């Protein structure tokens, strides 16, 4: 299928953004059924931070019977 750049409007900030042909191909390859509703900036702001939650190591320590450092 031939993809073409497509203008969309962000539902969060209202700005127009381009859903590129490459992004459309990526979405199709991943099996995503819907086009993005937010611009790249708003998607990045909504994404979780790159760091892990502090809960995982503490849970792992409890599972091993170790106490969490105070």
Q: For residue 36, what are the CA distances in angstroms to 21, 59, 60, 61?
A: 13, 35, 36, 39
* Largest interatomic CA distance in the chain: 58
**pLDDT tens column, 42-58:** 999 999 876 655 555 55
Distance CA 43, CA 29 (A): 20
**Which of 11, 38, 66, 15 minimizes the C-alpha distance to 23?**
38
Residue 31 confidence (pLDDT): 97
- Residues 7-47 have pLDDT tens digits of 999 999 999 999 999 999 999 999 999 999 999 999 999 99
In the three-class reduction of DSSP (H, G, I as helix; E, B as strand; rest coil), residue 13 is classed as: coil
Global confidence as pTM = 0.64
Least confident of 4-8, 19-23, 66-70: 66-70
């Amino acid at each position: 299928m031939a993809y073409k750049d497509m203008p969309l409007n962000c539902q969060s900030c209202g700005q127009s953004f381009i859903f590129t042909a490459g992004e459309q191909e990526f979405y199709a390859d991943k099996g995503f059924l819907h086009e993005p509703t937010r611009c790249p900036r708003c998607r990045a702001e909504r994404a979780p931070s790159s760091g892990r939650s502090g809960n995982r190591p503490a849970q792992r320590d409890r599972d091993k019977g170790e106490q969490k450092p105070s």
